[in-house]
């Protein structure tokens, strides 16, 4: 079974959202996981904004990159420059994508304003995962 890994700094928001969308859009044909170069804990606003689109990530946990899993992946997607720069070296057989997205956890202001940033990042991730799923289904 092919494997895909979504990586960001703390595995708290972006990579968790990408994992949620990929599980839905790629289905059972793919093993999907996410991780970070650090552990920051699952952000409750990521859980809330994903629930708004019908995807439950509330049981996800923040994890460090598993090098053994990484080396078995067909695809690795980094969602920030930090993950791209700090990701361990992968075998040449791994296809890498980089989606530089702002960290919604850094958003400031009232909860409404912060939620809006999470929604914008979530929607961009959904678009990216949808495009990737379409590309994979054509191959």
Helix (H, G, I), strand (E, B) or coil at 78: strand
Output the pLDDT for position 75.
Answer: 96
The residues of the chain scoring below 50 in pLDDT are none
Output the pLDDT for position 82.
Answer: 79
Just list the catalytic residues.
8, 80, 87
Q: For residue 100, how many other CB atoms are within 10 A of its CB?
A: 10
> How far apart, in whole angstroms, are the C-alpha atoms of residue 60 and residue 1?
21
Output the pLDDT for position 3.
Answer: 97
> How far apart, in whole angstroms, are the C-alpha atoms of residue 113 and residue 40?
21
Q: For residue 41, how many other CB atoms are within 10 A of its CB?
A: 10
Tokens of 8: 């960001």
Output the pLDDT for position 70.
Answer: 93
Output the pLDDT for position 80.
Answer: 84
Which neighbouring-strand residues pair with 31?
3
Tokens of 130: 């949808």
């Amino acid at each position: 079974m092919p494997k895909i890994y979504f990586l960001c700094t703390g595995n708290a928001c972006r990579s968790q959202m990408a994992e949620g969308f990929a599980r839905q859009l790629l289905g059972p044909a793919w093993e999907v996981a996410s991780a970070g170069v650090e552990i920051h804990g699952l952000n409750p606003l990521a859980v809330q904004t994903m629930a708004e689109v019908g995807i439950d990530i509330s049981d996800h946990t923040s994890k460090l990159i598993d090098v053994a899993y990484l080396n078995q992946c067909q695809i690795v997607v980094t969602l920030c420059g930090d993950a791209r720069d700090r990701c361990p070296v992968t075998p040449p057989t791994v296809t890498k994508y980089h989606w530089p997205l702002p960290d919604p956890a850094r958003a400031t202001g009232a909860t409404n304003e912060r939620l809006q940033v999470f929604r914008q990042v979530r929607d961009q991730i959904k678009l990216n995962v949808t495009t990737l799923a379409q590309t994979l289904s054509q191959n």
